[in-house]
Amino acid sequence: MQYSEMTAKMAAGKGFIAALDQSGGSTPKALKGYGVEDDAWTTEEEMFGLIHEMRARIISSPVFTGDKVIGAILFERTMDGQVGGVPTPQALIAKGVVPFIKIDKGLEDEANGVQLMKPMPTLDALLERSKALGVYGTKERSVINSGNAEGIAAVVKQQFEIGAQVLSHGMMPIIEPEVNIKSETRSECDEILLAEILKNLDALPEGQQVMLKLSLPIVPGTFDPLISHPKVLRVVALSGGYARPEACVELSKNKGIIASFSRALLSDLRSQMTDEEFDASLGEAIDAIYQGSTEKAEAAAAA
């Protein structure tokens, strides 16, 4: 796929984006969920080797194809690794799946009800290397815990600043200001976030577009103005802690939004499964998330 073909697939492709980008502190938890206990490794290299084996098994599965999985977000080490003897981004592209790279280095401590991204002093070098490997775009995550207008404005400002840096390298940023679904002011967070994103979208130069990865709103349809915005290529949703059945139901209530799930995609997979069991379980998850992404509830469709 050329860049223009990847853009077309992201703009209108039927399916969802797989988030295969657990990193750092979240890796042991992801491995434990996969049935690999902490005593299975002694070094960080061994730990990351095990998580790469899991991701390679997912990507290599015959049910993991561009027919339903239109994109995949990779951790940097996964991008630098290989699947089936070829670089991971090229293995994805061969299956019709558009590759993205997670670029943030984690979160700052909470201030003003939010967690900004930590500095990324080597981002330009990472973007150059990623693009050379065939990666289409990036994903960068912040977290919003409460309806603090000043904090949310700071999160969105930082996200769009990093997005501009990504765009300058000819890559597509997925801007991800995640609203904590356990927030007591979640509805207020959604409304403030919507206003701030619209303000920053309007300030984007003509001809530029970004993608958005957002928590599913507490009021379905809240993000409709973003879905139809000419400077937004696609809006995707994170599962945010919802189990897959609930995440898919909430997703189906929001027309025009597709999934970019991690835990909700991988939660039933285990290292001890046979290949047949693994493929069947992954296929069931893919089918359910595909349905939530493409078949919208009647109330949402009529809105």
Is position 176 annotated as part of the catalytic site? Answer: yes
Is position 118 annotated as part of the catalytic site? Answer: no
Name beta bridge partners: 237: 214, 259
Closest CA to 240 of 211, 264, 269: 264
Closest CA to 163 of 123, 129, 218: 123
Q: Determine which one of 95, 139, 140, 176 is catalytic.
A: 176
Residue 153 to residue 156: CA distance in whole angstroms: 5
Q: Determine which one of 213, 250, 253, 296 is catalytic.
A: 213
Closest CA to 163 of 194, 201, 134: 201
Closest CA to 52 of 94, 100, 17, 87: 87
Residue 113: half-sphere exposure toward Cβ, Cα within 13 Å: 20
Residue 1 to residue 29: CA distance in whole angstroms: 34
What contacts 218, CB < 8 A, 6 or more positions away?
A: 186, 187, 190
Closest CA to 50 of 64, 61, 40, 62: 40
By annotation, the residues acting in catalysis are: 176, 213
